[in-house]
Amino acid sequence: MKKALLNFFERIEPNKEKSPLLHTAYDAFFTFAFAPNTVTKGGVHIRDGMDLKRTMIHVVLAMQLCYLFGTYNIGAQHYEALGMYPGFFEGFHLKLVHGLIKILPIFIVANVVGLGIEFYYAAKRGHGVEEGFLVSGALIPLIMPPDLPLWMLALSVAFAVIIGKEAFGGTGMNIWNVALLSRVFIFFAYPTFISGDEVWVSDIVKNAELGAGYVSDTYGWAHGVFDWIFRGFGWSTFGDGGIPVVDGYTGATPLALAAKGGWEGVTEVYTVSEMWWGNIPGSIGEMSKPLIIFGAIFLILTKVADWRIMVSMVLGAAAMGMIMNGMVDPARFTEDTAGVFKFMAVPWYYQFYMGSFLFAMAFMATDPVTAASTNTGKWIYGALIGAIGLIVRVWNPAYPEGWMLAILFMNTFSALIDSMVLRGNINRRMKRATAAA
């Protein structure tokens, strides 16, 4: 059966010279469906006997729980703002479907644009489709807000793939993480769509009749289709929208609250448990800490990601957090104390509960192409990301999060770190050889 299927695919292979784009598409599907006869061991991408495509698939698999919870949390935060269905299972079908309606277009646009560009460059250069975008295409939807306009997303993905990857020669040649380049493009080009208190909760709009009040947006045709299905089962439906947001509700993230009022400002709105499990507004896939840790352990056990970068990043952030804690005295705070000092006073271990540290540690900093490759270099690289990221998070008033900028910054210097480590090793060996002679 396997031999017959292989023969069938070989018979329908398009001519590479006459139809380069069609052959590129065929080659991408063929190499996805069949494992090669031989695989390379060692090197940047390969940690055991897997080929590159299956290595990338392991990373995608590690993110699936983040996708499941992120989809649910989009709907949960939407209904939290409306004061409806407070329990986890209350309105579960509505929360899950609403999240699916929001995340599917983001996933499709990110992958169609990114893979389309990859196919074009592969056909022009006469080689097979490279597998690196399998991971980037899965990461990008998880690090975006749920209501990001799709044309902005398409523009950011095109920028990241063309300028950040293909300009350097394609997969394995880029010096910056492609998914983070897509996010940083949105942040600097369209900052109001990825920062502030209003972007993290989907389908909530200002209502002129209520003055400064907010209501749920009018639901679209997809909601209507599911309403028809739900009514058939006698379940609750979405309705038409226009439901007022509850008084006093805020879509602010814990980081935004900490930047203004420190840890006390955070705990006035969210509990530690909510931040740990991820029942808070934020980027789609970065909220649930246990699920991210599960993905990180999976990557470590499969030897796809290096534990040294993860551990050193935690140590770097913890050390910087302790330094900041030691620089301020919360007992002397008043109402007029600047927010940055209150943010510095947040207990260092609670910094891991807020924001996207764990997601960046597990899935971004460990990118084998853009990270340091020597063992000593990985310790230096991860520790600097942890320390610099926390500095940006706390001391930068315009951006209360730091891992995106810290990782891209250290991507730039990862090759230099490896070079210095190798030179140091060479010099030590030369000294030993000279002394022995």
Residue 51 confidence (pLDDT) above 80 = no
Calpha distance 195→210 (Å, rounded): 24
Calpha distance 234→237 (Å, rounded): 9
Residue 20 confidence (pLDDT) above 70 = no
Cross-strand partners of 216: 204
**One-letter identity of residue 97:** V
Calpha distance 216→207 (Å, rounded): 9
Sign of the CA dihedral with 67 first, then 68, 69, and 72 last: positive
Tokens of 337: 């104390």
Q: What is the mean pLDDT of the chain?
A: 87
Residue 94 confidence (pLDDT) above 70 = yes
| CB 67 within 8 Å of CB 292 | no
116-167, pLDDT tens digit by residue?
998 888 877 776 666 668 889 999 999 999 999 999 999 999 999 999 988 8
Alpha carbon of residue 432 to chain centroid:
45
pLDDT band at 46 (very low <50, low <70, confident <90, very high): very low
State the pLDDT at residue 6: 57
317-329, pLDDT tens digit by residue?
999 999 999 999 8
Contacts of 269 (CB under 8 A, 6+ apart): 250, 252, 254, 257
Task: Calculate Rg over the CA atoms of the chain.
Answer: 24
Calpha distance 332→345 (Å, rounded): 11
175-197, pLDDT tens digit by residue?
999 999 999 999 999 998 998 87
Q: What are the residue boundaries of the structural domains of the chain, listed by start?
A: 53-251, 305-430
Task: Give me the residue label for tokens 């400064």.
Answer: 212
pLDDT band at 169 (very low <50, low <70, confident <90, very high): confident
| CB 310 within 8 Å of CB 366 | yes
pLDDT band at 82 (very low <50, low <70, confident <90, very high): very high
Element (H, E) at 214: strand 214-216
**Closest by CA position to 73, among listed 179, 201, 246:** 201
**Closest by CA position to 316, among listed 253, 403, 401:** 403
